[in-house]
Structure 1
Amino acid sequence: MAQQPSVRGVKDVVALIDRQGTISGRSGVIWFLVFGGLFLDAYSNAALGAGLAPMTKQMDLSSTQVSILTATAPALAILFNPIGGWLATRIGRVPPLLLAKLFALAGAVIAATADDFLVVWIGRVLVGVAYGVDFAVAMALLAEYTPKSLRGRLNLWQGIWYIATTGNLLLTLICFKFDVGADIWRWSVGSAGVIALALFLLQWAFLVESPTWLATKGRLEDAVRNLRRIYGIEAVAAAPTVAGAVPDKADAEEAPPNVGMKQAGILFRGSYLPRTLLSSAISLGQSMQYFAVGWYLPVISLAIFGNSFEKATIGSMVFNAFGIVGGLLSAYFARRLGLRISSAIGFGGVFVMLLGMGLTFDRVPTWIAFILPALFIFCHSAGPGANGKSIAALSYRSEVRTLGTGVTGMIGSFGSVAGLYLFPQIKDGIGLDKTFMVLAVVPLLGLLTCLAIRWDPTRAVSPDEDPNVPTIAAPSAGPANPALVTR
């Protein structure tokens, strides 16, 4: 009988997971349940956009109120991305994910049953909390669940995003066919609550805490147990150090670190600095360009196809089909080209499409006016749209991974708010065509950043196995505050 591998710390857990060649069985169920939370985040965002016009009409909302509603969820994510990351560092990956589903459920119910602007806004606040917490934690957990050879699959979240958006648009179109009137937005927003409840029950029943996180806390017996539950890996926890004995260097390095919000500064030190700058720039650029243009596809569809809710919705669904294809292909591009190069190419494509849209809008045949936004969505989803989240999840050691995804998500949320708020303001001031040309600066800066910073986690050793990245010192009998060190 072969001897079972011994688990002494995080490196051993990561090595055992990286040996897996597939994600199947229970690990596959768990993997897709975490993706389900990202589906809900996208669906909840799309729910408001799809029904925004009838809601505005029914409640007689001002342009300022509309801007506040659309920007609330990403604005709250600015705060709750790092809070979600901190929670996941301290109490585990699974509890914050479950909590996020309850916030999403409450937010959907409150907004769908609202009679005035204030109550809808309160619902969107809760949705923003859920969005901020879930996204920061889910991507980190997926990175810890996924073997190194399959980590390009993290980019599939982008395809999931567009599938969710398209699904909500389809529901809105079905409700339109049943002539539910101005209440169509209530069905769109309320359906997100049904998904949130279903996901809460499924995640509560099936999710298993990350063995990697457990190892960072020194809970090796629990880590080994979860390796067996998720992957069927048979391993044994290393015997604890004998009291009074002097631990060797490996033992010292695997001692559980103390990690809190005050340790976030490590993300901007040593070899982490360029990683944080690159992932933040990609996240900021992709979110700003998407929420400025992609989120307003129904508005763009109306401008292209005429003043028809049905035509605009169908046009948006076709646009999103390009996002689904690009998002699903992004995993292939990440594996073949790497996250950095595929992001650079995607930013370049978006830059060209925005210039084309600005130069030709309202002056070319309908099919050309349609294909340019469609290619915009494809280039975005196949490159930076997917990579902005994935590159952060793969760039940091386990003990600071959720802090890294949280901070990067927070920076990306600034782009979301800027895109949602500034796009309608600029459009009203200078027109849709010139707005596209102004926005072309965003992907251009993203492209230049990707060319300047040459970091790619898919082309490097895992941060948990790299001795040259910053790490947080283990607790000791010395000073109460742990030091940040580089080894």
Structure 2
Amino acid sequence: MAQRPSVKGVADIVALIDGLRTVTGRARVTWYLAFGGLFLDAYANAALSAGLGPMTDQMDLSSTEISVLTATAPFLAIIFNPVGGWLATRIGRVPPLLLAKVFAVAGALLAAFAGDFTTVWFGRVLVGVAYGIDFAVAMALLAEYTPKASSGRLNLWQAVWYCATTGNLLLALGFYNLDVGQDIWRWSLGSAGVIAAVLLVLQWLFLVESPAWLASKGRLEEAVKNLRKIYGIGAAADTTGAEARAVAAKPAIGMRHAGLLFKGDYLPRTLLSSVISLGQGLQYFAVGWYLPVISLTIFGESFEKATIGSMVFNAVGIVGGLASAYFGRRMGLRLSSAYGFGGVFVALVAMGLTFGKAPLVIAFCLPVLFILCHSAGPGANGKSIAALSYSSDVRALGTGVTGMVGSFGSVIGLYVFPQIKEGLGLGNTFLVLSVVPLLGMLTCLAIKWDPTKADASPDDEAHGGLDQVRQVRQERGSHDAAVRP
């Protein structure tokens, strides 16, 4: 019987996981459960959008109150993305994810049963906290669950996002046909609470702590146990080596260590992922703000027609999100982002030059081109490239900081560009906004880092080096050959 591979630290864990071709068995269940949190984040954001009109009429909301409600979640994400990363670095990946679901359930129910603006707003505060924590941690966990050969699958979060928004619109249409009247917003927000409660139970029962994170804390016995539980990989913990002793003596990474993300090899990676995340947030939320207007123009002004129109645009996002995994695998995350930014630039310039003049077919096709290029490129890659660019000990902190930058883009896109629109008009606003994808494209072409094309993962570089990685993979291959019938 062949000897089980020895695990001395994070590099060994990463090498064993990267030796797999794909995510199968128990790993697939945990992988999709982590993705479920991202579905909830998108669904909870769409729930407010779908019911905002009826809520405004029922509660007689002012324009200021509407602005506050729509700003709350992305603003809080600016704060709680790095907080979530810090929690995941200190206490593990799974506990913050469960905590986020508790906040999501409480926030959704509070808003759904609210009798005044203040109560609705406080519910959205809790949802924003959940959103900020969950997104940073889920991407870090997914990166550590996924073999390098399947790293392009991380981009599927973009398709999941659009599936969630489409699902919420479809549900809103169903509630509308049930004649719930202006209470439709309560059903929309409340359904997000139901999804959060189901996810809370399932994640509590089936999510398994990341073996890479456990190894980064020197908890090798637990790490190899979880390796077997998730992937069926049999390994032995070597807690006597110098690497294990060094990990145990190393101080825990905290918020005060965020400067590490802007030093050495991490500096260009942080700049690249931050620019992609900021750019995609700016362009999506600025143009996304006007998609309902475009939808009303094309499909009609009734609630049903406008909702169906929005679903059509989101269906394009699903296609682009699915394509992003393919393009990310074939071209790499950096180049697929560059091409996506380029397509968005062309779409925005064309929208700006032809706004109010183009035939209806062109007026429809240009937003479709925008959404397709956005979702197939930078829309997905900003989160994925951050999750894959850092070693396990700082990964959650890195995804948190990048998420914070992206949330800045969301807030700016929602509130700065409407102000520009008031002064310049919608067509000229699209032309001004086209600068964002142009700068994003140039940044992607200038910075050459791409984790999907690198010879070694960040954990390999930080903890083992290529020689050790190759040795571990060779041991893994010998072990598989020995036990194969």
Give TM-score, length-normalised by structure 1: 0.92
State the partner residue of 1:72: 72
Report deviation, 1:296.
4.3
CA–CA distance in structure 1, aligned partners of residues 290 and 68 of structure 2? 15
State the partner residue of 1:466: 461
1:270 aligns with 2:264: yes
Bigger shift: residues 22-31 or 295-304 = 295-304
CA–CA distance in structure 2, aligned partners of residues 89 and 31 of structure 1? 19
1:311 aligns with 2:305: yes
The partner residue of 2:407 within 408, 413, 417 is: 413
Report deviation, 1:326.
0.5
Which contiguous aligned blocks of 4+ residues in structure 1 show a shift greater than 4 angstroms? 253-257, 467-470
Report deviation, 1:22.
1.9
Bigger shift: residues 296-305 or 273-282 = 296-305
1:437-484 CA distances to partner (integer Å, 9 max, x unpaired)?
Answer: 2211111111111111111111112001115999xxxxxxxxxxxxxx
The partner residue of 1:452 within 446, 451, 461 is: 446
Report deviation, 1:71.
1.1
Partners of 1:224 and 1:236 within 8 A in 2: yes
Report deviation, 1:424.
3.1
1:53-85 CA distances to partner (integer Å, 9 max, x unpaired)?
Answer: 221222222222111111110100000000000
State the partner residue of 2:206: 206
Change (3 A) 1:89 1:56: same
Residue 452 of structure 2 aligns to a residue whose secondary structure is helix
- Long gaps (5+) in structure 2: 466-485
The partner residue of 2:341 within 337, 340, 347 is: 347
Partners of 2:217 and 2:247 within 8 A in 1: no
State the partner residue of 2:398: 404
CA–CA distance in structure 1, aligned partners of residues 463 and 94 of structure 2? 30
CA–CA distance in structure 1, aligned partners of residues 181 and 423 of structure 2? 32
Report deviation, 1:428.
3.5
State the partner residue of 2:120: 120
Partners of 2:10 and 2:463 within 8 A in 1: no
State the partner residue of 2:98: 98
State the partner residue of 2:55: 55
Map 1:66-465; keep pairs closer than 5 Å: 66-240=66-240, 247=242, 252=246, 256-460=250-454, 461-465=456-460
Report deviation, 1:427.
3.0
Number of matched pairs? 464
Task: Give the percent of matched residue pairs that are identical in Structure 1 and Structure 2.
Answer: 74
1:86-140 CA distances to partner (integer Å, 9 max, x unpaired)?
Answer: 0000000000000000101111111111122211111111011000000000000
Partners of 1:396 and 1:463 within 8 A in 2: yes
User: Amino acid of the residue matched to residue 142 of structure 1?
Assistant: L
CA–CA distance in structure 1, aligned partners of residues 194 and 188 of structure 2? 11
Change (3 A) 1:254 1:379: farther
State the partner residue of 2:19: 19
CA–CA distance in structure 2, aligned partners of residues 103 and 295 of structure 1? 27
CA–CA distance in structure 1, aligned partners of residues 435 and 201 of structure 2? 44
Report deviation, 1:25.
1.1
Bigger shift: residues 297-306 or 432-441 = 297-306
Partners of 1:347 and 1:380 within 8 A in 2: yes
State the partner residue of 1:480: none
Partners of 2:283 and 2:413 within 8 A in 1: yes
Report deviation, 1:351.
0.9
Report deviation, 1:295.
4.9
State the partner residue of 1:483: none
CA–CA distance in structure 2, aligned partners of residues 377 and 142 of structure 1? 25
CA–CA distance in structure 2, aligned partners of residues 177 and 430 of structure 1? 39
Residue 52 of structure 1 aligns to a residue whose secondary structure is helix
CA–CA distance in structure 2, aligned partners of residues 116 and 170 of structure 1? 26
- Long gaps (5+) in structure 1: 242-246, 471-487
Residue 459 of structure 1 aligns to a residue whose secondary structure is coil
CA–CA distance in structure 2, aligned partners of residues 345 and 137 of structure 1? 28
Partners of 2:391 and 2:462 within 8 A in 1: no
User: Amino acid of the residue matched to residue 265 of structure 2?
Assistant: S
Structure with bigger helix share is: 2
State the partner residue of 1:42: 42
User: Amino acid of the residue matched to residue 102 of structure 1?
Assistant: V
Change (3 A) 1:431 1:214: same
User: Amino acid of the residue matched to residue 187 of structure 1?
Assistant: W
User: Amino acid of the residue matched to residue 191 of structure 1?
Assistant: S
Partners of 2:8 and 2:238 within 8 A in 1: yes
Q: Give the superposed CA RMSD.
A: 1.7
Report deviation, 1:180.
1.7
Report deviation, 1:360.
1.6
CA–CA distance in structure 2, aligned partners of residues 468 and 228 of structure 1? 22
Bigger shift: residues 154-163 or 437-446 = 437-446
CA–CA distance in structure 2, aligned partners of residues 358 and 55 of structure 1? 32
User: Amino acid of the residue matched to residue 410 of structure 1?
Assistant: M
CA–CA distance in structure 2, aligned partners of residues 402 and 47 of structure 1? 27
1:321-356 CA distances to partner (integer Å, 9 max, x unpaired)?
Answer: 110000011011001101010000000111111111
Partners of 2:218 and 2:247 within 8 A in 1: no
Partners of 1:85 and 1:402 within 8 A in 2: yes
Partners of 1:347 and 1:444 within 8 A in 2: yes
CA–CA distance in structure 1, aligned partners of residues 23 and 167 of structure 2? 26
CA–CA distance in structure 2, aligned partners of residues 67 and 133 of structure 1? 23
Partners of 1:289 and 1:442 within 8 A in 2: yes
CA–CA distance in structure 1, aligned partners of residues 346 and 202 of structure 2? 43
1:281-332 CA distances to partner (integer Å, 9 max, x unpaired)?
Answer: 0000001111112254223312333422211111110001110000011011
Residue 457 of structure 1 aligns to a residue whose secondary structure is coil
